[in-house]
Amino acid sequence: MNNESISGEVISSYTSEQAEEDGFLVDTTKLNEKWKKGLFNHVTTNLLSKGYFDDDGNINLPNLVDLYNQALMIVKIKSNDFHDFDSFFAGQIELPSGQKQEIFIEQNETGEFTLLLPEDH
């Protein structure tokens, strides 16, 4: 089945704002206004729990910046230096623990991208 054969009314939708309210997403642009100009605006709390919170439960900003830099490199490579842009990317990152982790980078309804684990999809 291709997208062209799907038609009809949307039965339900779940917005990024609703996911924030439910505690599944964090809008990282609220941490730094300058990030509103970037590609990414949300990260799932499940991904953040992989070493991106400090001991007090706050987001560790240097680790988050590293996550964003790694995600940006995935997008750059997979999009042929941003020439063949798409709405979904996947790749491997290194978590703060040093372990490798596959992540998904998916465009959301805002036009920006959410970083998530495959099981969050």
d(CA 114, CA 121): 10
Residue 45 has pLDDT above 70, yes or no: yes
Domain boundaries, the chain: 13-120
Write down the pLDDT at residue 2.
Answer: 44
Confidence of residue 22 (pLDDT cuts 50, 70, 90): confident
Section 12-30 average pLDDT: 88
Bridge partners of residue 94, in order along the sequence:
100
Can you tell me the mean pLDDT for 18-35? 91
Q: What is the mean pLDDT of residues 94-117?
A: 96
Q: Answer whether residue 69 shows pLDDT above 80.
A: yes
